[in-house]
Amino acid sequence: MANKLTEIQQKRKYINGAIDYENGVGFHNNVNQKGAYCFFCGNSFCVFKVVNVENVNCCYIKYIYGQDKKSLNSVFLGVLNYIINRNVKFIYYSRKMTSVKYYTQFFKGFNFKRQVQDSNFKYNFECNECGNDKGKGEKCKCKTEIFFI
């Protein structure tokens, strides 16, 4: 059992590190992974939760990370296969906008609708994009992209 906990802890550390690498130190605190599934393909992963909202099964993607296009496609197709078997009717994903536009193109390729709105992160972090200073209590000024289908 101790080896299993160590493996889970290593995966959590990798997930948190990848999230912070893309967004800034401490951003992983804004991604609630409690009770979520995590699918991996190579070093790409998707953290998501299936929830029931007014008798409709919905998939809430907490975070998706792609180290390369092939593994990102594979991990996302694995998630789609999983949620189709759970009769999911709606998929929702919200992410902090970054200079990396690959994710926008990726979701548009699956015909997701996209909206942009102001961000309101619960926990401060050192943003890679806008350069806010967490130590001074500055909030991230970046926008949030919302994808849904």
Q: What residues have CB less than 8 Å from 6, skipping those under 6 apart?
A: none
Count of structural domains within the chain = 1
Phi, psi of 103 (to 5 degrees): -65, -40
Q: Determine the structural domain holding residue 6 and report its residue range.
A: 2-148
Enumerate the β-bridge partners of residue 96: 144
pLDDT score at 71: 93
Q: How many CB atoms lie within 10 A of CB 10?
A: 10
Output the pTM of the full model.
0.90
Give the pLDDT confidence score for residue 102 in this predicted structure: 85
Residue 15: strand, helix, or coil: helix
Interatomic CA distance for residues 23 and 20, integer angstroms: 5
* Least confident window among 30-39, 43-52, 98-107: 98-107
State the CATH number of the domain containing residue 124. Answer: 3.40.630.30
Q: What is the mean pLDDT of the chain?
A: 92
* One-letter amino acid for residue 30 of the chain: N
Take residue 38 and report the two structure tokens written for it: 């995590």
List pLDDT tens digits, range 89-133. 999 999 999 887 889 999 999 999 999 999 989 998 999 999 887
Give the residue among 91, 96, 139, 92 at the shortest CA–CA distance from 117.
96
Model confidence at 7, pLDDT cuts 50, 70, 90, reads: confident
Q: For 54-86, how does the pLDDT look when each residue is reduced to its tens digit (9 = 90+)?
A: 999 999 999 999 988 899 999 999 999 999 999
